[in-house]
Amino acid sequence: MTKFLFSLVFLMSISLSAQQLKSPSEFLGYELGSQFTRHHEVVDYYEYLAEAASDRVQLTVYGQTNERRPLILAYVSSAENLANLETIRQEHLKDTEGTGNSSKAIVWLSYNVHGNESVSTEASMKTIYELLTKKSSYLENTVVIMDPCINPDGRDRYSNWYNQYKNTPYQVDPNSKEHHEGWWSGRSNHYMFDLNRDWAWLTQVESQQRLKMFNQWLPHIHVDFHEQGVNNPYYFAPAAEPYHEVITDFQRDFQVTLGRNHAKYFDANGWFYFTKEVFDLLYPSYGDTYPIYNGSIGMTYEQGGSGRAGLGVITAIGDTLTLKDRIAHHFTTGLSTVEVSSQNAEKLNEEFRKFHQNKEFKYQSYVLKGDKDKLDALKSLLDKHNIEYGDLASGSYRGHNYGTGSSGSLSINKNGMVVSTDQPKGTLVKVLFEPSAKLSDSLTYDITAWSLPYAYGLDAVASTSSVSVQNVQETMPSSNISNGSYAYITDWNSMDDARFLAALLKEGIRVRKADHPFTIEGKSFERGTLIITKGDNENKEGFISTLQTIATKFQKDITPTTTGFVDSGKDFGSSSIQMITKPKIAVLSGGPTSTLRFGEIWHFFEQQLQYPLTVIGDDYANRVNLNEYNILVLPGGRYGNHFNEGELSKLKDWVRQGGKIIAMGGSIDALDGEKGFGIEKKKMEKDSGDNKPQPYKDWERERIKGAITGAIFKTKVDNSNPLAYGYGPDYFSLKLGSSAFNYLDSGNAVYLEQNSKPFSGFAGTEAQKRISETLVFGVENYGRGQVIYMVDNPLFRGFWENGKLFFANALFMVD
């Protein structure tokens, strides 16, 4: 009897606490799905749960966005598990080294990485509530880690915009303004970066802070919730080909297991869905692939909707898609994921251990050498990924040589390093470093090449044997800056050098550049070398101490000289040692520019170079007096003939008088032609060869013959051109399309020769012909000014480190 009473009280207390826990609708004061919930309200609800169910929900603030919104994670599990959370985590991580004995499933659910795919944060609230109430049995052997919003700045940008424009009641007619978000959409983060392309490159604060947490857990399962076009049925795993070859059979199979369970619920409700199409698993910087390369089952789930859908919209077949429908679908797959994981906890743990024990890769070591600044840039990325590396003092190493694309050797006498696959992050090392990823299919969603030695501009060999680390004494750079010197000299070949120069110019220090190589006091210097003379800065108060401070901050090696009389080359008073103009920069935004391309430039200036820019809106650009600026940057986009004749002639006058245009990607289309500048689109004569009609079913295969889906090409560099100072004779460019321009009459700084084949990644046969003998980067002198053409995009997603100096050269060296 006592026992019965006890259990009755126990049961009552459970149902009471469940009853007491407020659902999202109860907490928010409106029915979930009838409004968009602002981010701070979402945080409030999670905080409420962490208090009301404190034994089963723990909340962590893991960072802050650019616009100061908090980034949060909720750990959700049984009371017993949560009390042992740290032990569970440590036991799980030991599995990466084969020493753990973990039994819990770890499931990580990430919502709303694309800010205007705004259903998912709403769905997260319903999901966590359900896990804490009706589905709490799943949590007995499962820890669920929920990130309710990866991209709060983008989400609030969307929801605030929607609230401004929405009709009351909401209008389902797709023509209504509430379904047309406009240029500054909520998809990306503050800097207009796509956070679902940033997992491997970690250029953005959201990714950097999140990855620290992710690496503390390395979950078994990771789901990235998205939305796609309004008319698409739901998409869930299994994913489409191509799959990267490192993906294990279990990772493939478990996607099917999960997909079948989701399908069961969708079938019962009569909901449409598709699998195995469109969303492939290759490019390593996604929320599905990156976790996969770290041993998770990583997946993308896509609801139909996005920024077009609002609270409700009519679809192409005449149905109404509401926010409530969208919530129901993401809620269903989220719970189904936790259910399957809970049922398979043992298997997930076993396979996770296996994944981390298998390091049977063709290449065991990647040996790299290069300029210290470039090695440091790579090391800083590897640190963020918890990838281990070591130094190499000297030696000769054989393997696949990245520079030639065939086997050869690399000798190192200083500045060498090695990254091995024999480490917990070995699979990720292979994916990021291997010369080229194996493609099971060339129809892919994204770029097909990203190999880090190319991206960081390092000489490298991939070795089939294991190379061991040597200890190297780090020599600190000497910046011996004292009052007595005539001038201070420093080299120019990295982004660190560009940051150093930008800092000097901001402080009002005058800097000259060498347009010819020279030797002074027995030391040789290349083109682009920076020369800071006492004479130029005599009136600058605190010149020496400011220079000293900045040199120390950027760890610059500075050579002081007591004379301006060179052993060979031009003396420092020569007219070829010119003063660098402190640029005043305007960047076009809106209208024809792409938000992503604009964002890369914005982020480059503020967060990478730390140099100010003025952002000009296309809607009032006509009324801006360009004479207030000496550089105008035109980001890539869809320009067509965006500038009319009057606007073009205004631009030409400004350049003639000394202005400088940096025209990137699609903006070049707006400058060519009869009324424009000297650049010409390459014309292709019709292919005479294969003229057979192609069957309709092959159209997609036919189409990709003309495509380049992000491939790496070896290009020629004229490094006597100021646009290419600091580079060697070759440059590996990431080509993102087959847009092609003829060589300029002069000023071809970087170009493709005949019959260029990709070193890494896919390029269709037609596309290869198209880009043969075309311009990559060039300078057209026009009056007293210049137009700089960047056909390829060195700032793409902020990760092609070795291209950034071209952009810095365009700002500071070309004149």
Token pair of 234, please?
Answer: 């739901």
Q: How far apart are CA 658 and CA 654, in angstroms?
A: 7
Q: Which residue, 33 or 287, has its beta carbon nearer to Zn ion? A: 287
- Quick one: 308 or 642, whose CB is closer to Zn ion? 308
Applying CB under 5 A, among 56, 92, 114, 356 the residue interacting with Zn ion is 114
Residues near Zn ion (CB under 5 A), total: 3
Closest-CB residue for Zn ion? 226
Question: What is the rounded distance in angstroms from the CA atom of residue 81 to the CA atom of residue 253?
Answer: 28
Q: How far is the CB of 331 from Zn ion (least distance, A)?
A: 17
Q: How far is the CB of 197 from Zn ion (least distance, A)?
A: 10
* Least distance to Zn ion, CB of residue 285, Å: 14
Alpha-carbon distance 608 to 605, whole Å?
Answer: 6
Separation of alpha carbons 157 and 115, rounded Å: 8
- Rule CB under 5 A: which of 117-136 touch Zn ion? 117
Residue 226 or 603 with smaller CB distance to Zn ion: 226
How far is Cα 102 from Cα 84, in angstroms, rounded to an integer?
12
Of residues 722 through 781, those in contact with Zn ion by CB under 5 A are none
Q: Measured between alpha carbons, how far is 435 from 449 in angstroms, rounded to an integer? A: 9
Write out the E strands in 245-362. 273-274, 280-281, 297-304, 312-314, 320-322
Query: Residue 194 or residue 351: which is nearer to Zn ion going by CB?
Result: 194
Between residue 189 and residue 228, which ones bind Zn ion under the rule CB under 5 A? 226
| 490 within 8 A of 559, measured Cβ to Cβ | yes
Q: From the CB of 338, what's the least distance to Zn ion, in Å?
A: 21
708 in Cβ contact with 736 (< 8 Å): yes
Q: Which helix (H) or strand (E) holds 165?
A: helix 152-165
Q: 120 or 630, CB closer to Zn ion?
A: 120
Q: What gap in Å lies between CA 755 and CA 753, rounded to an integer?
A: 7
Residue 329 or 499 with smaller CB distance to Zn ion: 329
User: From the CB of 116, what's the least distance to Zn ion, in Å?
Assistant: 9
Q: Which CB, 114 or 603, lies closer to Zn ion?
A: 114
**Per-residue mark of binding to Zn ion, 649-678 (x: CB under 5 A):** ------------------------------
The CB-of-588 to Zn ion minimum distance in angstroms stands at 26
Mask for 224-253, x = binds Zn ion (CB under 5 A): --x---------------------------
Q: Which is nearer to Zn ion, 150 or 432 (CB)?
A: 150
Pick from 441, 113, 173, 197: nearest CA to 315: 173
- Segment interacting with Zn ion, rule: CB under 5 A, options 29-37, 111-119, 249-257, 469-477: 111-119
CB of 305 to Zn ion, least distance (A): 10
Q: Who's near 798: CB < 8 A, 6+ residues apart? A: 193, 198, 201, 203, 204, 600, 603, 604, 608
Choose one: 92-100, 112-120, 209-217, 766-774; the region binding Zn ion (CB under 5 A): 112-120
Q: Which stretch binds Zn ion (CB under 5 A): 74-82, 109-117, 212-220, 796-804?
A: 109-117
Shortest spacing between CB 186 and Zn ion, in angstroms: 11
* Minimum CB distance to Zn ion, residue 645 (Å): 40
- CB of residue 449 to Zn ion, shortest distance in Å: 23
Residue 142 has φ and ψ, to the nearest 5°, of -135, 135
**HEC sequence for 439-478:** CCCCCCCCCCCCCHHHHCCCEEEEECCCCCCCCCCCCCCC
By C-beta, is 117 or 496 nearer to Zn ion? 117
Alpha carbon separation from 340 to 141, 156, 259, 619, 649 (Å, rounded) = 12, 32, 10, 52, 64
β-strand partners of 465: none
Kindly tell me which of 149 and 412 has the beta carbon lying closer to Zn ion: 149
Residues that bind Zn ion (CB under 5 A): 114, 117, 226
